[in-house]
Amino acid sequence: MNPASESSLPAALSIQPKPVRAYFGSRSVGAALLVLVAAFALFGPTLSGSDPVAQDLENFLAAPDAANPLGTDHLGRSMLARLAHAAQLSLWLALLSVASALIPGAALGILAAWRGGWVERVSVVIADSVLALPGLLLVLLLATFAPGAFWPLYLGLSLSFWVEYFRVVRARSHILLASPQIESARLLGFGPLYIVRRHLWPELAPMLGTLMSFSAATAVLAMAALGFVGVGIRPPTPELGVMMIELLPYYQEAPWLIAAPIGLLTLTVLGLALVGRDRSSMQ
Amino acid sequence: MNIQGISPVAGVLGRRGLQALLVAALVGTLSFFLMRMLPGDAAYRIAAGRYGYDLVSAAAAEAVRVELGLDQPWYLALVGWWAQLAEFDLGTSLVTGHAIADDIAHQLGHTLLLAFCAMALSLLIGPALGILAGLRPGGAIDRITLLGATVLRAFPPFVLGILLILGLSVHLGYLPAAGHGEATSVVLPALTLALGLAAGSCRIARDAFSQVVNSPYYAFGRTKGLSDRQVLLRHGLRNAAVPIVAYLGMQMVFIIEGVVILETLFAWPGIGHALIHAIFWRDVPMIQGCVLVFALLFVTLNTLVDLACLALDPRRRH
Amino acid sequence: MSLAFQVDELQVRAGHNVLIDALSLSLKAGEALTLLGESGAGKSLLAQAIMGNLPSGLRASGQVRVGQHTSPAGEGAKRRPLWGRQIGLLPQEPWLALDPTMRVRDQVAETHALVTAVRWPEARTRAAHDLDAIGLAHARDHYPHQISGGMAQRVAFAAVHAGAAPLLIVDEPTKGLDAALRDDVVALLQQTLAEGGAVLTITHDVAVARALGGSIAVMQQGQIVEQGDAASVLNAPAHAYTRALLAAEPARWPDRPPTQIGQCLIQGRKLGKRFGHRLLFEQLDIHIHAGERLAIQGGSGSGKTTLGNILLGLIAPDHGEVLRAPGLPRQGLQKLYQDPAAAFAPRLSLGQALRDLIRLHRLDGRELGPLLTRLRLSPSLLERLPGQVSGGELQRIALARLLLLKPAVIFADEPTSRLDPLTQQETLTLLADTAETHGCALVLVTHDPDIATRLTSTQLQMP
Amino acid sequence: MRGRHNPSRRRFTTQLALGGLAAGLGLPRPVIAHPNGDHAHDPLPATNQIPGVLSIVGPWELTGLDPSRAGFMFSRMEIAETLFDAADDGSPLPGLAARWTQSADGREWLLQLRPQARFHDGSPVSAADVVHALNLARTKPGILGLVPIERIDAHQDQVRIRLKHAFTALPAALAHSSTQILAPASYDPDGVVRGVIGSGPFRLTHLQPPQRFEVERFAGWDGPPPAIERATYLAVGRGETRALMAESGQADLVFGLDPASLQRLQGHPTLQVESVVIPRTIYLKLNAGHRWLTDPRARQAISLALQRSGIAHAVLRERSLAASQLFPPTLDDWHVPALPPLHHDLAQARQLLRELGWHTDAQGMLFRSDGAQTEVFSLNLRTFPDRPELPIVATAVQEQLRQLGIRVTVSLGNSSDIPAGHRDGSLELALGARNFAVAPDPLLTLMQDFGPSGGDWGAMGWHDPALDATLDALQRTRDASARQHLRTQAAQILHQALPVIPVAWYRHSAALHPRVNSAGLDPLERSYRLSRMQWSR
């Protein structure tokens, strides 16, 4: 049923409770945060001009000054340079794992919904078995193969993310493929490529966008969490979770140090969450 | 009543049962290859775990190798591996030599306690705030909870945990910082987990509730002549509960993952704690046992959520 | 006869925009008043203003009197205690107005228990009686999703009726119902009248107004343009709008002359289809000839659409076969949908959708202009998205899209059931005209027997 | 302990809650109770501590009950005893053995047990029980393997140990926790430990492995009754959690504090921090068999590249911990003040490597051309995070060697990676921390580490007959001045040849709640000295 079509009010006057997100302008705020973080990750290393691993043991835990705008860490390394590199790493991981989950996940989802039959049954069975394993556990299992390496994180996250894309795309595609718009497109003679491009994709894209921002946030947080429990990226590579755990003991001596990675992580996740929140209630 | 002749409960149980089998197979296989692909010498690792690294020596490692039969060919090991798993025998820890089933049975209690407390707390906090926010969308409570939930979601659980320790334990001394043994020990880790959970369920509850309040059946309840309280109780809560309970299924991931990280932080002797340790020591049977129990726990909890959804929402039953 | 209800000088505004102006109505106990008008005329707003639950942002002025209670129209909260007890409101689309998680008997019983303050066990017994009385004894313990739209309509009626309010307001009671169910509803309303209740009905369905009798007020753009007792308004309409509205009733449409019938294009032989355990049809034979106008008729759920989809080749029958005339191209069969908005990609502009089609089949794009003119469509509409044009316009654009392909058969699946009567008439007439002009066969699925007989020469009644 | 709430605290509750968040966020904590204080610490909050129960928190988990696995935990909690005990300087003290004699050739030892000693199940400790326990210990990995034992038996009410040759470090070996004496009822018929029935002043009451166990005062203890009636031990894996538990006053005695937390806790107004330098040294183990590291000049160069004082200053937060030689000054007998201290001299290090044919490329990294092929000086360093400072030190070392031109990759793994790498020859560099007083006499450790085939935690691919002779002589020689001479000689050899490169010495610390009076930390890490502790009130 389409209540709007019979609404007794002129469209321009439709009176609905003002959407709450308007108060925060959330999407643009989120996008702005992400642009800021990305710019910091991209240009930070150049701007800081220092080597993120170069130490100055005689100048550790230095307060922020002109040379080191964010101070130096417990080994006298430039926090600005380290933070920028860490941001780069986190964003890369997020981007990479989301992209490599999205493409097969969405493609398989469309294929399963389109073809049905054993293609669908097999892919659902695979998805179900991965789904029974919370993503972090999968990452932990893989991380045991190669502790401290980047690939288990990446692989584990992608492996656990694709299921979500697959499920969402398959479910939505099922509905769309049975919908009049696609039935009519077929009757009109349009082929599968056109249907995917003009009918499926525009409907799926906003949802996938939301999902992507969520899984990117999950990736960033998971990486930090693994760093925190000592299974993530190994030092001296700057990584937010590892930095947090390394700098936590100095929370009283040099509070700005621990605040920096926490702040950056929070801003990144907040940005991703805000960008994605538009449709968060849809799930 | 079902047309296909399969009751919906049996349908849920069957589907989830299959899922449990699949995940057991997945975890078992991964663990086996993990065992085989362990870099370095497993006997050495095990010996170090057993005797402390000050005492690890070639002799100790050799003793371990013979004792555990690590020198047998891989195909025998594979067969043994599967046979054991099929008999629900999780084997013995490479590090402690204890039966893993015993260890985990003990740890599972702690994990369940933590998860249950966290869930209960989050259900006290989240939906209550969500309903308050949903009753007046755009109102002050709505805006405050939105801001709170958004920021809280952006906070890694372990950071939140540390903040709570610093605030409630170090500065105020209300609660023990970590450990277990005292009745109050569970509060901090449970609260940490619950706040994250509540941040999600609060918004879901809010959306669900505002949807219910704006629904035609809610309006019909009012125009029928029911008071606001009567409509809320008779038509609001149950309908709003349907998406909240369904969302609980999605939150299970968060609970399981949170448990793994927070048990380590709070020295809570559950399976999550054991898992991180086992990974650290490459105690593969233990890793397998922990991950398996977590996965089965996850499937079980999801089954309960499914059944709760069936109970709450008659539309799913037909 | 006591006065059941009266409004004086009711005005509803949104800011400076007047939506309902200087409206006065009254209704005595035991009488019916029917408000007729097109969508957007402010009819439903009127019901909300009387109840006192206007959406926030709308302001009402004037007086509303219900029974002995008079209150300023703007102070809706004062009428809240009257809900259910003095005013009953039968909701639009009752299948949405029933609580999906509660058995229907409880939804009726709660009015007894909570509105008329009967003890719960007694309330349940009464609810069971109520349901028995309207022929729903078997559905007492069903949930709303297990009952049909017509049954839901009756359950909602029972739930409202249980409050025994002397005034019943009914908002679009026949929306989405087929003719048989419409008669059911009318019967329930007539019963209320017979019991001495006053019924205010808001509808665009002239047949309902005629059946209820009493008096009629015709609304256009927030104002009453004509008012009087039913017989005089319906038989001697004074206002042009009333006349148009009456003329749009399918029963009053002129008959169309039969067309030249050509070769058989599609033949369905011994078709059978089941849906789950339910048999839709079996041993069904059907022929569609070139240039023919055929109506497939039947109540909701009788398998009309399924039959059409089988003929179109979209789904396979369980039994029997569908034969197509040799040389009939794949694109020779086209379908017009019930909800035109659902038949377009929502994020693709209409013009782009048409251009894609023209490019795909290497059609002559110059045909589009004249086609649009013939369908009385402005080319500027093509810059919009499907959601930005009205239902009638969109259905005509859908028609234009089909016609570009010069189909041999147009299968129209209740193409106007969501449109108001004037638009319905316009759209269907154009459909029939263009089908005739282009020489294609028209298969029309409809639940309205009047439309079927007026528009088509052959009718197939589904079992 | 709700009654112990500071009345003024309630007033500050809300501010403190904000303060807690602020502190966690890294913002300075608002100064509340200390208007003049620059380092505003609140007094220790009243916690849910159980009165009369001492709570100890440390990083070590119970991985089993066997003395060879977790014996050190039962020794530290004074549940089980060894035949010998040790003074702070490592010299033997009576343990379960009240008196002992050795034959003139040093090959036969007779140990007389404490007559009143009782196991916790009430049975007296007999010589036969001791022999049973020791013979079982010999079958398991542990220190006894180093001792040339011929036979252990009971001789009347004495324990008789017959050696293949004289062995001066026997009391040290028998003070090691793997030689703990448990009651026969502790073992099942296969010799597997099923319960810990010791003879110490505390009795195990509750065991919840791997994290927690509880003890209570043993009424049958034949020594002076301890003041502490009950105590719990809790293993907490994360250093920061341990520090927070100390800070929150939840634990009475917290071990295994990382230097940064230690620094923070030292500023705490009520918590006491005790520390003692222990005979543990952080050093680089290197594969002297590796073709780049065989020449002592290469090891010398690596040693010269290390900025020990910087590491000690920044990581360990105490410059004096920079190692000037392998043995820390606490090891009085082994520390040789006369040795030229290890120092930092990058220029000299480069010079040494140039002598070995290494050149620096444009990035300052070392390479060596051998006619056809060019090799780059890059090494893998293994270390492990059990001790929180090791990964940080490894990171510092990595950077300092990069300054020299050596590319170092750090593998942060499991502590067992190092012995494993030693054994299969794949190890290049390792960073570890070696306790020279695992048994109170470092001689035992040196025998393990620098023997003819090297040691898992000691030399690799390096062997010096002169050192062998010195250590062998030490085993047999009882003359004090001769022994001192031999020790100095051994220290000198190790200092010059650098089979392992010392980085820093180690400080052992613990945070102590004000409600207990400590008996001082044991520099040998053998005991928590529970039986000597007192309640403050």
Mean pLDDT of chain D: 84
Closest CA to C140 of C124, C152, C128, C125: C128
C93 at the A interface (CB within 8 A)? yes
Q: Among D151, D186, D221, where does a domain finish?
A: D186
Give the mutation candidate from A14, A20, A239 for the B interface (greatest B CB count, under 10 A): A20
Q: Choose the final residue of a domain: D124, D154, D186.
A: D186
Q: Which residue has the tokens 């990736």?
A: A219
- Domains identified in chain D, total number: 3
Range of the domain at B28: 3-86
- Number of folded domains that form chain B: 2
* CATH number for D415: 3.10.105.10
Considering the domain architecture, whether residues B210 and B308 belong to the same structural domain is answered as: yes
The residue of chain A with its CA nearest to that of B303 is: A132
Same domain, D286 and D426: yes
CA distance B118 to chain A (A): 18
- pTM for the model stands at 0.80
Considering only residues D404 and A56, tell me which one the structure prediction assigns the higher pLDDT: D404
Where on the phi/psi map is residue A117: left (φ > 0), alpha (ψ -120 to 50), or beta?
left
Tell me the chain D residues in contact with residue B163 when contact means C-beta distances shorter than 8 Å. Answer: 20-21, 24-25
Other C-beta atoms lying within 10 Å of the C-beta of residue C463: 10
By C-alpha distance, the chain A residue nearest D268 is: A252
Q: Using CB atoms, which residue from D23, D27, D395 is nearest to A236?
A: D395
Partner-chain residue, chosen from B220, B230, B242, that has the shortest CB–CB distance to C97: B220
- Chains A and D are in contact, defined as 3 or more C-beta pairs closer than 8 angstroms: yes
> Is B3's CB within 8 Å of C277's CB?
yes
Q: What percent of chain B has pLDDT over 90?
A: 4
Q: Do D415 and B53 touch (CB under 8 A)?
A: yes
Which residue of B12, B18, B22 to mutate against A (max A Cβ within 10 Å)?
B22
User: How are beta strands C441-446 and C293-297 bridged, if at all?
Assistant: parallel
Q: What is the mean pLDDT of chain A?
A: 80
Question: Do B178 and B208 fall within a single domain?
Answer: yes
Highest mean predicted confidence (pLDDT) among A148-162, B164-178, C294-308: A148-162
At residue A79, the pLDDT reads 87
Are B41 and B186 members of one domain?
Answer: no
What pLDDT is recorded for position D537?
66
The answer to whether A64 contacts chain D (CB < 8 Å) is no
Task: Report the alpha-carbon distance of residue D227 to residue A242 in Å, rounded.
Answer: 43
Contact yes or no for D412 and A251 at CB 8 A: no
A249 vs D261, D307, D385: nearest CB:
D261
Q: What share of chain B is helix, strand, coil (3-state, %, to 5)?
A: 80, 0, 20
A202 upstream amide cis, omega within 30 of 0: no
Residues D165, D84 within the same domain: yes
D406 or C213, greater pLDDT: D406
A139 touches A166 (CB < 8 A):
no
Task: State both tokens at D68.
Answer: 């060879």
Interface contact flag, B256 A221, Cβ < 8 Å? no
Reduced to 3 states (helix: H, G, I; strand: E, B; else coil), residue D31 is coil
Which among B34-48, B239-253, D168-182 has the top mean pLDDT? D168-182
pLDDT surpasses 60 at B54: no
Q: Which D residues in the span 54-113 are in contact with B, Cβ-Cβ below 8 Å? A: 57, 61, 63-64, 68-69, 72
Greater pLDDT, B138 or C353: C353
D240 contact residues in A (CB cutoff 8 A): 245, 248-249
Q: Is the pLDDT of residue D7 over 60?
A: no
Mean pLDDT in residue range B88-108: 78
Residues of chain A neighbouring D263 (CB-CB closer than 8 A): 253
Q: Is A248 on the interface with B (CB under 8 A)?
A: yes
Test B294 with A221 for CB contact under 8 angstroms.
no
Contacts within 8 Å (CB) and 24+ apart, B29-36: B30/A141, B30/A142, B31/A141, B31/B81, B31/B284, B31/B285, B31/B287, B31/B288, B31/B291, B32/B77, B32/B78, B32/B81, B34/A141, B34/A144, B34/A145, B34/B284, B34/B287, B35/B77, B35/B81, B35/B284, B35/B285, B36/B74, B36/B77
Instruction: Name the one residue in this structure whose structure tokens are 């599972």.
Output: B108
- pLDDT reported for residue D283: 94
Pick from D514, D519, D517, D513: nearest CA to D532:
D519
Query: In the prediction, which pLDDT does A11 show?
Result: 35
More reliable by pLDDT, B29 or D265: D265
Evaluate whether residue B95 is within a structural domain.
Answer: no
Q: Is the pLDDT of residue D46 over 60?
A: no
B175 or D165, higher pLDDT: D165
Q: Is the pLDDT of residue D6 over 60?
A: no
> Using the beta-carbon criterion (under 8 Å), do D234 and B95 form an inter-chain contact?
no
For residue D448, the model assigns a pLDDT of 84
Q: Are residues D503 and D517 in the same domain?
A: no
pLDDT at C7: 86
What pLDDT does residue D143 have? 82
- Tell me how far apart the alpha carbons of residues B11 and B300 are, in angstroms, rounded to a whole number: 14
Q: Does C83 touch chain A (CB under 8 A)?
A: no
- The span from the first CA to the last CA of chain B, in angstroms, equals 7
CA-wise closest residue to C51 among C21, C28, C22, C84: C84
pLDDT tens-digit map of D126-146 = 999 999 999 999 887 778 888
Q: Is residue D240 assigned to a domain?
A: yes
Which pair of structure tokens corresponds to residue B67? 């004792």
Q: HSE-up of D160 (CA within 13 Å, CB side)?
A: 10
Residue A282 within a domain: no
CA-nearest of C71, C65, C73 to C27 is: C65
With beta carbons less than 8 A apart as the criterion, state whether A260 and A83 touch.
yes
CATH number (3.40.50.300, 3.60.70.12, 3.30.470.20, 3.40.50.1970) of C264-461 reads 3.40.50.300
B-D contacts (CB, under 8 Å): 194
Chain C positions in Cβ-Cβ contact with residue B219 (cut-off 8 Å)? 53, 91, 97
Cβ pair A188:C405 closer than 8 A: yes
In chain A, positions 15-54, which contact chain C (CB-CB < 8 Å)?
15, 17
pLDDT given for residue A51 in this prediction: 79
Mean pLDDT of B101-119: 88
Of B31, B56, B86, at which residue does a domain stop? B86
Could you tell me the CATH number of the domain that includes residue D96? 3.40.190.10
Which pLDDT belongs to residue C77? 82
Indicate if the pLDDT at residue D21 is higher than 60: no
Domain parsing of chain C, residue ranges: 3-246, 264-461
* pLDDT score of B267 more than 60: yes
Is A11 part of any domain? no
A76 with D314: Cβ contact below 8 A: yes
CATH level 3 topology of C3-246: Rossmann fold (3.40.50)
Is the pLDDT assigned to residue D407 strictly greater than 70? yes
Indicate whether D304 and D239 sit together in one domain.
Answer: no
CB contact under 8 Å between D392 and A75, yes or no, is yes
Sequence letter at residue D145 = G
CATH of the domain at A49: 1.10.3720.10
Q: Does the CB of A157 have a partner CB in chain B at under 8 Å?
A: no
C341, A190: Cβ pair inside 8 Å?
Answer: no
Question: How confident is residue D232, by pLDDT bands cut at 50, 70 and 90?
Answer: very high
Please indicate whether, in this complex, the C-beta atoms of A125 and B138 are within 8 angstroms of each other: no
Contact C361, C333 (CB under 8 A): no
* Structural domains in chain A (count): 1
Domain that holds residue D24: 8-36+278-436+498-507
D214 & D267 share domain = yes
For residue A261, being part of any structural domain is answered with: yes
Count residue pairs from A and C with Cβ separation < 8 A.
Answer: 92
Environment class of residue D480 by beta-carbon count within 10 Å: exposed (0-12), middle (13-18) or buried (19+)? exposed
Mutate to test the interface with B, among A18, A123, A131, A133 (most CBs of B within 10 A): A133
Same domain? For D305 and D429 the reply is yes
Q: pLDDT at residue D270 above 50?
A: yes
* A252 in reach of chain C (CB within 8 A): no
Tens place of pLDDT per residue across chain C (463 aa): 577 788 888 888 888 888 888 888 888 888 888 888 776 656 778 888 888 888 878 888 888 888 888 888 888 788 888 888 888 888 888 888 888 888 988 888 898 888 888 888 988 998 888 888 888 888 888 888 888 878 888 888 888 888 888 888 888 887 767 777 778 888 888 888 888 888 888 888 888 888 888 888 888 888 888 888 888 888 888 888 888 888 888 888 888 887 778 888 888 888 888 877 778 888 888 888 888 888 888 777 778 888 888 888 888 888 888 888 888 888 888 898 888 888 898 888 999 999 999 998 888 888 888 888 888 888 888 888 888 888 888 888 998 888 888 888 899 888 887 777 788 888 888 888 888 888 888 898 888 888 888 888 888 887 7
Predicted local distance difference test score (pLDDT) of residue B44: 67
Task: Give me the pLDDT at residue D340, please.
Answer: 93
The verdict on residue A10 lying in a domain is no
Together in a domain, D163 and D265: no
In a domain, D44, yes or no: no
**A127: domain range?**
24-276
Tens of pLDDT, residue by residue over B286-310, are: 888 888 888 888 888 888 888 888 8
Q: Within 13 Å of residue C394, how many CA atoms lie on the same side as its CB?
A: 26
Q: Give A226's pLDDT tier (boundaries 50, 70, 90).
A: confident
B119 shares its domain with B203 = yes
pLDDT of D333-350, one tens digit each?
899 999 999 999 999 999
Residues D76-124 have pLDDT tens digits of 999 999 999 998 888 899 999 999 999 988 899 999 999 999 999 999 9
Tell me, yes or no, whether B12 and B36 share the same domain.
Answer: yes
Predicted confidence at residue B45, as pLDDT, reads 62
Please report, for residues A68, B263, C85, C451, D143, the alpha-carbon distance to residue B190 in angstroms, rounded to integers and kept in the order given. Answer: 39, 10, 49, 66, 44
Model pLDDT for residues B157-168, shown as the tens digit of each residue: 888 888 888 888
The number of CA neighbours under 13 Å toward the Cβ of A223 is: 37
Q: Identify the chains in contact with A, defined as 3+ C-beta pairs within 8 A.
A: B, C, D
**pLDDT of res. D457:** 86
Of D39, D133, D149, D45, the C-alpha closest to D83 is D133
Q: Which two tokens stand for residue D171?
A: 């009391």
Rounded to whole angstroms, what are the CA distances from D84 to C98, D97, D141, D169? 85, 6, 19, 11
Alpha-carbon distance D216 to D118, whole Å?
A: 15
Decide: D and C in contact? Rule: 3+ Cβ pairs under 8 Å: no
Q: Which of D20, D178, D211 sits opposite B269 (nearest CB)?
A: D211
